Structure 1
Amino acid sequence: MSLHVMKVPDIGEGVAEVELVEWLVTAGDTVAEDQPLAIVMTDKANVEIPSPVAGRVARLGGEVGQLLAVGAELVAIDTQAMAAGAGSTPAPGVPSGLGAPSVPGALSTTGASRHDGIEVPPVERVLRAGGAGAVPPAARPLASPSVRRHARELGVDLREVPGSGPEGRVRHEDVDGFAARRRSVTRDAGAAGAAGSAAGSDAASGAGSDAVQTLRMLGLRRRIAEATQEAWRRIPHFSYIEEVDVTELEALREALNARHAAARGRLTLLPFVLRAIVLAVREHPRVNARFDDEAGLVAQHAAVHAGIATHTEAGLLVPVLRHAEARDLWSMAAELARLAGEARAGRASRDELTGSTITVTSLGALGGIASTPVINRPEVAIVGVNRIVERAAIHGGAVVARKTMNLSSSFDHRVIDGMDAARFIQSVRGFLECPALLFVD
């Protein structure tokens, strides 16, 4: 046996450890050079780690959910077996390319394993092995890490799920539909088998379930939990909420879309908010900063690199729109759409997810009346956009319908005083309520 020990690579500057999100192989699998071995996470970005050599997987260096230091052993591959021809086909009962179980005590083909103190028979690992049932690495279904995790939680084999996405990609709804159909079949079979049961069984069948589903905090969800907990623990937050009349702004936005949407794309509210923030930052530069509380240094930035809180299937990501101060409305709209698409498809790079100087968060139509957003540490301010509603208001001495929304923003009280925060938000409000000012430098 000639072992090639692959270590956790240095994925990017400053990264000391990664989280093992998913194994794409298991011990005994035959792998080709450049075949993905595992998915790891760092700075909220998932990265596939390919194999540098061809051979047979001898051992895995960790379990899903484990944090591995850069330079630690990731996987050991027997290259001699491949060279000798022993690795040309998978070992009996071990189809190449099957994803490893995500729980400690992964199932083995050579003996029983234990999980939570329960011995698990090895036969479950070799279901569909051999013959027409074997699945080669190339047939591994396309799915995001969050979909794979969701399938594991439901006990669904992704290879059996028809994908409705591009190129047959399996989506969350495909997994849910498959699981629902399987439950229906199981329920029907159970009903048929219970046809001759006692008369009192009908009442018992309506009893509520005491089942409890325990989910491990993994991947992006764990990173979100750690980041928000650390931000809340270390930053003395205070929030400031102000109502903004956006009637004129919405009229302007509709007019610009009617005139330019076909050629330049449609404008949402967010580019206008970003433009207002850019202009307000010129008057109140202290909010566009990052605070190194260990060194006691506040880095005040001239450029506005706006973090955009974005909901994805895997959880919250914050891609960064760089140099918002140098962009017009349509350039911002195009970049916002691109960043959101990359984040939701799981393709956002580490560079696209780091380096923001102030963050904007919005839940759109679900934005509610007010909120208290958590600061994206080490920034010192976050601007929250609530939904637009039409309300009766006094305008020009008459009661009229006006479109209003709230800005719910949070600040780091170590750096930003309450008066400074209020002045900043009032500046943003002034630009939004008189939108002509957005175009005046």
Structure 2
Amino acid sequence: MGTHVIKMPDIGEGIAEVELSQWHVKVGDLVVEDQVLADVMTDKAMVDIPSPVHGKVIALGGQPGEVMAVGSVLISIEVEGAGNLKESAAPVVTKEPVTPAVEAVVESKPVAAAPRPAPAPACQSPMVAREADERPLASPAVRKHALDLGIQLRLVRGSGPAGRVLHEDLETYLAQGQSNASAPAAAAYAQRHDEEQIQVIGMRRKIAQRMQDATQRAAHFSYVEEIDVTAIEELRAHLNEKHGASRGKLTLLPFLVRALVVALRDFPQMNARYDDEAQVITRLGAVHVGVATQSDVGLMVPVVRHAEARSLWDSAAEISRLANAARNGKASRDELSGSTITLTSLGALGGIVSTPVLNLPEVAIVGVNKIVERPMVVKGQVVIRKMMNLSSSFDHRVVDGMDAALFIQAIRGLLEQPATLFVE
């Protein structure tokens, strides 16, 4: 038997160090070739580190949240044959991993060190009581599986890292847990004194840093405008009915992307990046639209490149592809960088007004709120119309308030008269 040492790989772009975000294995686990061992976080994206060999994990080289240099020892695996340990100049260091992201503290009593949780006994109930608004850790596939089975995910005890709910946990719940259906109801009224300390690492740390940087460096101001989207929603429904089966269904987002592209022709100062250190504004002809997307690890912004050259269905397909890649953690660094203006939407949860934070170094972000039906006065008559607010933010250091208002008014005009989106 020999030892195969896997070093932190050179991910490119001159990156000298990365953050170890999460382990997918532990000491003693048997792994196979191409199995994902760990996730590491660069400035731009999450990257999977696969195993190049079959073997048994004998040492881990870091803990989640630790910043590791490229070339340092990531993991050591016992393999058949000689391995590659003699080729490695770096020593093998065994470090016990901290349970990712969560350490429990009961009744606010100080503890010197969080104990490593013991394996759950085989007879442990597959059910667990969580708060009604608590979102358990689970992959999108597991969430869909639970929805298909009619299972409330918050009631299922997770056996994965940090309590992540796995597919087998759903099967265990179905097989053993339904007889205890009354237990969560009783537990919901019990007093609770527990607390959680959540380590801010990986994607959450990057998001926190970027949001803090954006609010400290840019002079944010927001502008909200109400838009009548009745006509464009009718057009969207018509196109979906006529072409949905052959070309795919259209959401409102590709229409918004098209409206941005057309409006930016008259307001090029919005499609720009501001280098505040060099005091240089770069206006770009290409429109690379960042589409803010929520994933299990936090907010990501994949980029629809050259939106100015895309049709409605081309934009729709690219938005869908990028959103799925982001949610599944498969978006590449290139797909998550290079945007020139950002579009953000919470869909049906969009609320009435929001104040989106700029995606620096961009100077504008357009936020979409939910569509509601309301009585409106049109040509002296009270009629029911579909209304939606755009809540947008701008960098006041380089964008004047009048220009921002005119820009959003231009988008409003395009959406309320959707034929103008396609008139050249």
**Band the TM-score falls in, shorter-chain normalisation:** 0.7 to 0.9
Residue matched to 1:221:
204
Change over 3 Å in CA distance of 1:437–1:176 after alignment to 2: farther
What secondary structure does 1:11 align onto?
A: coil
Query: For residues 249 and 380 of structure 1, do their structure 2 counterparts lie closer, same or farther at Cα, with a shift above 3 Å needed?
Result: same
Letter in 2 for 1:234: R
Distance in 2, Cα, partners of 1:309 & 1:339: 10
Summarize deviations over 1:152-209 as a string: whole Å, max 9, x none. Answer: xx984239x998xxxxx639x949968x949959969xx9xxxxxxxxxxxxx96522
Identify unmatched segments of 5+ residues in structure 2.
84-95, 104-109, 123-137, 143-152
The 1-side partners of 2:178 and 2:333 are apart by 39
The residue that corresponds to 1:421 in the other structure is: 404
Mapping for residues 14-163 of structure 1, pairs under 5 Å = 14-29=14-29, 31=31, 34-43=34-43, 45-52=45-52, 57-77=57-77, 82-83=80-81, 102=99, 116-117=111-112, 124=118, 144=139, 156-158=158-160
* Structure of greater Rg: 1
Matches within 5 A, 1:198-277: 208-277=191-260
Structure 2 vs 1, CA of residues 288 and 206 (structure 1 numbering), >3 Å: closer, same or farther? closer
Offset at 1:320?
0.8
Aligned partner (choices 278, 281, 291) of residue 298 of structure 1: 281
Q: Distance in 2 between matches of 1:313 and 1:47?
A: 15
In the alignment, what sits opposite 1:288? 271
Question: Residue type matched to 2:81 in 1?
Answer: A
Give the 3 Å change call, closer, same or farther, for CA 187–383 of structure 1 in structure 2: closer
TM-score by length of 2: 0.76
Alignment of 1:286-435 (within 5 A): 286-435=269-418
Conserved 8 A contact 1:305-1:324: yes
1:8-45 CA-to-partner distances (Å, cap 9, x unmatched) read 21213143432212223334555555443322122453
- Residue identity matched to 2:203: L
Indicate whether 1:170 and 2:167 are aligned.
yes
**Contact 1:36 1:48 survives alignment (8 Å):** yes
Q: Secondary structure at the match of 1:387?
A: strand
Aligned equivalents of 1:297, 1:348: Cα separation in 2: 30
C-alpha displacement of 1:391 = 2.0
Per-residue deviation, 1:327: 0.8
Distance 1:28 1:409, change over 3 A: same
SS where residue 238 of structure 2 aligns? helix
**Residue in structure 2 matched with residue 13 of structure 1 by the alignment:** 13
The one-character-per-residue Cα deviations of 1:87-131 (angstroms, maximum 9, x if unpaired) are xxxxxxxxxxxx955269x9xxxxxxxx95359589x46989xxx
CA distance in 1, matches of 2:357, 2:164: 39
Paired with 2:4 and 2:332, the residues of 1 have a C-alpha distance of: 29
Contact 1:244 1:404 in 2 (8 A): yes
Structure 1 CA distance for aligned equivalents of residues 157 and 201 of structure 2: 17
Question: 2:112 is matched by which residue type in structure 1?
Answer: G
Query: Percent identity among equivalent residues?
Result: 54
CA deviations 1:360-392 (Å, max 9, x no partner) are 011112111111101111111100111112222
Distance 1:349 1:117, change over 3 A: same
Tell me how far 1:50 sits from its aligned partner: 2.6
The question of whether the paired residues in 2 share the 8 Å contact of 1:22 and 1:102 is answered with no
Change (3 A) 1:398 1:40: same
Summarize the Cα distance change of 1:338–1:436 in structure 2 as closer, same or farther, 3 Å threshold.
same
Q: For the residues of structure 2 that align with 1:65 and 1:245, how far apart are their CA atoms?
A: 47
Which secondary structure does the structure 1 equivalent of 2:216 belong to? Answer: helix
Distance change >3 Å, CA 247–CA 33, structure 1 → 2: closer
Is the alpha carbon distance of 1:303 and 1:121 closer, same or farther for their aligned partners in structure 2, counting shifts above 3 Å?
Answer: closer
SS at match of 1:213: strand
- Which has the higher mean CA deviation after the structures are superposed, 57-66 or 416-425? 57-66
Paired residue total:
375
1:285 deviates by 0.6
Q: CA deviation at 1:84?
A: 6.6
Q: Is the 8 A contact 2:64 2:97 kept in 1?
A: no
8 Å CA contact 2:140–2:327 kept in 1: the answer is no
Contact 1:57 1:77 in 2 (8 A): yes
Unmatched 5+ residue regions in structure 1? 86-98, 107-114, 129-142, 164-168, 192-204
2: distance between equivalents of 1:27 and 1:253? 54
Q: Is the 8 A contact 2:287 2:340 kept in 1?
A: yes
Whole-angstrom distance in 2 between the partners of 1:74 and 1:42: 15
Deviations 1:247-303 (A, max 9, x none): 222222222222222222222111111111101111111111122222222221111
Change (3 A) 1:302 1:186: same
The answer for the alignment partner of 2:88 in structure 1 is none
Q: TM-score, normalised by structure 1?
A: 0.74
Is the contact between residue 292 and residue 378 of structure 1 (CA under 8 Å) also seen in structure 2? Answer: yes
Distance in 2 (alpha carbons) for counterparts of 1:390 and 1:185: 39
Q: Kindly tell me: are residues 145 and 103 of structure 1, through their superposed partners in 2, closer, same or farther at Cα, counting changes over 3 Å?
A: farther
Whether the 8 Å CA contact 2:2–2:82 is kept in 1: the answer is no
1:440 aligns with 2:423: yes
| Structure 1 residue 341, shift from structure 2 partner | 1.7
Report the CA distance between 1:246 and its aligned residue.
Answer: 1.6
Q: Deviations over 1:324-345 (max 9, x none)?
A: 1001111111111111222222
- Quick one: structure 1 residues 103 and 339, their matched pair in 2 at CA, closer, same or farther if it must change by over 3 Å? closer
Kept in 2: contact 1:146–1:314 (CA 8 A):
no
Matched residues in 2 for 1:44 and 1:274: separation? 23
